[in-house]
Every structure is written in structure tokens, then in C-alpha cells.
A and B are shown apart, each in its own frame.
Chain A
Amino acid sequence: MDFLSQPLLEHSALFWEGYRNTVLLTVGALLGASVIGVIGASLRVWGGPALSSLAVAYVEFFRNTPLLVQLSFFAVLLAPANLGITGDPIVVGLIGLSIYTGAYVTEVVRSGILSVDPRQIESARSLGLSQVQSLRLVVLPQAIRTVIPPLGNLAIALVKNTAIVSAIAATEMLKVAGIIETRTASFDGYLAVLVGYWSLTIPLAFLVDLSERRLGFAR
């Protein structure tokens, strides 16, 4: 470990805490966004005029406003002084990132559902499959194939967006680099953080490329 500078070695525990929190924010928000996305897309496709308009309003508002403003808003809204739900910036980050990314996932899942020709369901039904069977055996396998590459893309964007949670004082990777700089006046924390982000985004990009080639098929 000789190539690591003294300030980095001294703060390695802090760095890994930041790395863990970045991973935690990514994985947690991806799960949260997926739940929101499936609900949002279902409302959009099967929710009737009122609920589907509501889903559209949610998607359009949250994808067309900056994440920083949303996170700052939630940090104040959920703080003990207001709604009193949480003062933990990581939890606020998880909620904010889930809601922001959920808007994108809604669009992706919706396009996945619509990518399957409704006539296929009719055919499956007329072959004797029940409604649930035809959704599970015919629609779902095709929809998942359509949805995985764009979801992987959103996961990469999500890793990069976790950096913005440092603005509400969550100790994720970028914040840790700032702390190291304040304490030791060393810039090495920022260089380590670059490598840290690349260790997440580059393998993910590779997987997305792979899934695009493997799952791409003619319809």
C-alpha cells in the first residue's frame, strides 16, 4: 500500500464508510425507485384517467426539477423541526433519490409493459391460459428483457447522483473527500473518490452493454 499517501492511509476507515454509504444509497434508492416505478407504471397503464394523470404529473415534475432542490426540500421538510420524520441525511438521501429516480423508472417500466403486444395476451387466453398465467408466462418475461438495459442505465445515473447527497451533509464518498481535505489539506481524497466512483460505474456500464447485446431480440 506504499502508493497511498499518508492522509489517505490515516482516513481509510472513513473512506470505506463513505464508500459503503454510497453503495447503500445506490442499492437502497434503486429498490425504492423500483417499487415506486412499478406502482407508477401500473397507475399509468391501468389506473384510469385520474390516477394515470396523477402518475404523469409525478413523473414530469420530478424529472424536470433539479435533484439538489428536491433533496434540500426533503431535508427541511422531514427534519425534526417540521414533519419530524428524520434528521438523518442518509435516510433523507434514500427517500429523495428514490422519489427522483422513481420518476424515470416509471417511464421505463411503462414502456416495458407497453412493449408487449396486447394481442399476445388474447392469444394466450384463447390457448387456455388464465389471465395471471398469461401475464406471468407471456408478458413478464418479455417486459423484463426490455426493461433491464434501461434500468441498468438508470442505476449508473443513480451512482453518480448519490454524490449530490453530500450537499445535505451525508457522509458518502464525495463528502469524505471534503472532510479529508479540510483535516489534512490533502487533495488525495478527491483522487481516491474518483477511483471509488469508477469502481462502481464502469463495471455497471459493462453489464449494461452486455445486457443490451444479450437481451436484444427482434419482436
Chain B
Amino acid sequence: MTSLAVARNRLPIGRLLLVVLFIALVVAGFASGALPADRWEPFLLVSTWTFLFEGLVVTLLIGAISLVASLLIGIPLGIARSALKGPPSWIVRGWVELVRATPILAILIIIFLGLSRLGLDLTAIQAAIVGLTLYNSAVLAEVVRAGIRSISQGEVEAARSLGLGFGLTMRLVVLPQALSRMAPAIVSQLITLIKDTSLLFILGGQELVGYGRSFFNFYGNLLETYIVIAVIFFAICYPLSRAARRLEAKQPADERIVVTGEADQIATATSIR
């Protein structure tokens, strides 16, 4: 009771100070000339927002398609990773480990340039979807493997001895339980995925950052546009990170799943205490 009351009293003071500080920063920015007011004027136009919204739709579509495709590939890959034995399992493991050890930007560029060398011409957006799916399906495969491993072997044996086959045991016993443990890691990975869609801009594709680029080429307000784009990304990713944290808070500490080398999963796992 006391701790709740303290928390309730403490937070608004902090937030209030933060708002005051923010306003002071903005006023200081305008007063010193570092943030000329006329450079912000284009953001008062409706056309600006409809234009940036088009870019946002592209970003979200790429994120959504890549997420669904990554799940469709990552879940079977993860099951294969945990169920296969011998050489086939080494191949799956080698693939998953190598893909995860590679920077996503290197993957995107190699797919974009490499496939066109092999005679398969993809647009930048198609290459981005393929690359993001390739990378995130490997990460999700690892999440799935960790989720399956976290289910006690006794449950699997019980299901098998009741006559359920491998497929039914997975579908009815293991995966439903594993899914709730995997949920925070999957949502965290979605944050990484959405932030990584911005890399499509480097391939020359038009998503939110690319739309921003054409916008400030017209108005000459580079820094201001970057701030606005960052705020739009924040508006999407922050609710997701809150959701990931809420899901993680429901999990007992020893059931947390974090895939090696994935910063947003670590951030979710360490934010619970």
C-alpha cells in the first residue's frame, strides 16, 4: 500500500519536471536560433502529414509482411532445430547461427546486389522483405527452440505415452505453453524489425525515411525532419516495448527467453525487476 502511494506521488513530479525541461529546451532552441521556427512551418501543412503517412504505410506493410513470413519460416525451423538429430540438425544449426552472426544491413545489401547478379532482379522493397525475413526467421527459430526446451521433458513423455504423435504433442502440448513464454521475445523482436525497415532507405527504397528525405530535399529542413521521423518511429515502437514488458512481467524470471545478441530482447528482459 505504502509503496503504491509513494509511486503515485513520485511519478507526476518527475514527469512535470520533464515537461518543463522540454518546454525550456524548445524555447531556448528558438531563442538561440538553433531551431529556426520557419523550418518547422512545413509540419503545419496537412499535405506534409499525408505525404509522411504514405511512407509510414510502406514501413508498416514491410514490417507486417516480414513478421508473418519470419514466423511462418522461423517456427518450423525452430522445431527442426530442437527435434532433429545428427547431420541434418548441424545444417539447421549452422544456418541459424551464421545468419544471426551477420549484420542485417550486410544481409540486405548482399541479397539486393547478389540476387541481381544471379539474374533475379528484385526491387529494393522486395529485397528488404526477403532480407528481413531471412534474418528474423533465424532469430525466431532460436526463440522457438528456447521455448520448446523450456517445457519439461516429462510433459512430452506423458503426451507421447498417451498415444499422441510428434506433431500432436507439439501442437497440443508443447507449443501452446511455449508460446506464452516466447511472446515477450517475439514482440521485442518486432521492435527490432520495425527499426530495421529504415535500412531499406540505404537500398534506395522509399519507406518512411526515404519519404522524409524527399520531403526535406524540398524544404531544406534536414534536422527537423529527422526529429519528426524519429518521433513517428517512437510512437510505434514505444507501445510495443511497453507491451513486451507487460508480457515479460507475467513470466517467472527463470522462464525468460533471450536470444544471444538481440538487444531489444535484452532490454525487455532487464527492464523487469
Contact = CB atoms under 8 A, between A and B. Distances in A.
Interface of A: 49-50, 52-54, 57, 60-61, 63-70, 72-73, 76-77, 82, 101, 103-104, 107-108, 110-111, 114-115, 150, 153-154, 156-157, 159-164, 166-167, 174, 177-178, 181, 187, 190, 193-194, 197-198, 201-202, 204-205, 208-209
B101 interface: yes
A57 B98 CA distance: 35
A174 B181 CA distance: 36
Nearest to A204: B261
16 contacts: A49-B11, A50-B13, A53-B11, A60-B234, A61-B230, A64-B241, A66-B196, A69-B198, A76-B222, A82-B223, A104-B263, A104-B266, A154-B263, A160-B104, A190-B114, A205-B97
A181 B202 CA distance: 16
Contact of A68 (B102, B209, B227, B263): B209
Interface in B219-253: 222-223, 226-227, 229-231, 233-234, 237-238, 241
A152 B95 CA distance: 22
Contacts, number: 163
B59 to A, nearest CB: 10
Per CB-CB distance, the 8 closest pairs between chain A and chain B, nearest first, are A53-B14, A156-B261, A163-B103, A49-B14, A64-B237, A66-B198, A111-B270, A160-B103
Nearest to A76: B222
Given A205-B260, A205-B261, A108 B270 contact: yes
B109 A174 contact: yes
A107 B106 contact: no
A190 B109 contact: yes
Interface stretch (B15-23, B72-80, B84-92, B159-167): B15-23
A61 to B, nearest CB: 6
B201 interface: yes
B258 A153 contact: yes
Given A114-B273, A181-B113, A201-B101, A190 B106 contact: yes
Given A73-B227, A178-B109, A197-B101, 17 more contacts: A65-B231, A65-B233, A66-B195, A66-B233, A68-B199, A70-B230, A76-B226, A111-B271, A153-B260, A153-B266, A162-B103, A164-B199, A193-B106, A194-B102, A205-B97, A205-B260, A205-B261
Q: Is the interface of A mostly helix, strand, loop or mixed?
A: helix
Contacts of B191: 64
Nearest to A198: B101
Given A52-B14, A208-B260, A197 B266 contact: no
B106 A69 contact: no
**What is the size category of the interface that chain B forms with chain A?**
35 or more
B273 A111 contact: yes
B105 A166 contact: yes
A110 B266 CA distance: 13
Contacts of B105: 163-164, 166-167, 174
Nearest to A157: B263
A156 B261 CA distance: 5
Q: By CB atoms of chain B within 10 A, which of A107, A162, A177 has the most?
A: A107
Nearest to B261: A156
A206 B260 CA distance: 10
A67 B103 CA distance: 13
Q: By CB atoms of chain A within 10 A, which of B199, B223, B270 has the most?
A: B270
A53 B104 CA distance: 32
B114 A187 contact: yes
A50 B17 CA distance: 6
Contacts of B109: 174, 177-178, 190
Nearest to A47: B14
A160 B114 contact: no
B122 interface: no
B106 A66 contact: no
A124 B183 CA distance: 40
Given A49-B14, A153-B266, A205-B101, A64 B258 contact: no
Interface in B117-151: 117
Contacts of B227: 73
Contacts of A114: 273
B255 interface: no
Contacts of A115: 273
Contacts of B202: 68, 167
A144 B94 CA distance: 31
A77 B103 contact: no
B262 interface: yes
B18 A53 contact: yes
